Amino acid sequence: MKTLEVHPLTRDAFAPFGDVIELEGARQIPINLGTTIRFHDLAKVDVEDGGGRTAINLFRGQPRTLPFEIKMMERHPLGSQAFIPLTEARYLVVVAPAGTLDPTQIRAFVSNGWQGVNYAKGVWHHPLLALPGTTDFIVVDRVGEGLNLNEEDLEAPFLVTLPQGRTA
């Protein structure tokens, strides 16, 4: 079984797959008479294909134990999908570029605990991989008519684990 190397989640490394949602480096706008800071335009929500509309959901992810086998991937061809953790909790992000699923292009990232991700429309990804405990996420995605979920089993699974010295 192939091992999937895990990298830190950064804007540059994740750019081919969508957006990293984080406060660091974000445009800050004082609002509400200076009592609030707005961290502006953190991700591109793209859900209008086929008459879709934006939905805000809460997902409660059960913890996964590492090492973990990646056996399948999914994608949403009609809209982006954003995951924003509600507490400081690290999680894994496993992705591959949009288009035909190419297992040689699968990449794995680990969040710093407060980062969110916004998968671009059509980007392959593994379903939610919460790490040490049950974790709640706000999920912004598309609802509406049309088939907006494709799942594909991998011919050969990947084993994902954190590099030595890193813990969940």
Decide: 8 and 163 in contact? Cβ < 8 Å. no
Decide: 157 and 103 in contact? Cβ < 8 Å. no
Q: What percent of the chain has pLDDT over 70?
A: 97
Q: Which two tokens stand for residue 32?
A: 């509400």
For 72-116, how does the pLDDT look when each residue is reduced to its tens digit (9 = 90+)?
999 999 999 999 999 999 999 999 999 999 999 999 999 999 999
What is the structure's pLDDT at 132? Answer: 85
- Give the list of residues 6+ apart from residue 73 with CB closer than 8 angstroms, or none: 94, 96, 101, 106, 124, 125, 126, 151, 152, 154
Is residue 165 very low, low, confident or very high in pLDDT (cuts 50, 70, 90)? low
pTM, two decimal places:
0.92
The average pLDDT across 32-43 equals 96
How many Å apart are CA 43 and CA 67, to the nearest integer?
A: 30
Domains and CATH numbers, the chain: 2-160 (2.60.120.480)
